[in-house]
Amino acid sequence: MQETQFYISGLKCDGCIAASRAKLEEVTGYESSEFDLKAGEMKVIGDVDPQAIITAINDAGYSAVVKSA
């Protein structure tokens, strides 16, 4: 299973995480995610296209940039 890390911005609470996860669940290959609001980071597990993850986060109203794949 692939793990991709992202820097995220704009998320402030559990509601933000829930909105983001709802969009991430629409991405083909997505399995799960972990968020660290203080560090501004997100880890996505699954065979996903990083650009699709960025688009999903943008659609939720936030920003993401690949940290590592």
Do the bridges between strand 3-9 and strand 63-68 make them parallel or antiparallel, or are there none, so unpaired?
Answer: antiparallel
Domain positions in the chain: 3-68
Q: How far apart are the first and last CA of the chain?
A: 12
3-68, which class in CATH?
alpha beta
Report the pLDDT value the prediction gives residue 48, as an integer from 0 to 100.
95
Q: Count the alpha carbons within 13 Å of 58 in the hemisphere toward its beta carbon.
A: 7
In tens digits, what is the pLDDT along the chain, a chain of 69 residues? 899 999 999 999 999 999 999 999 999 999 999 999 999 999 999 999 999 999 999 999 999 999 975
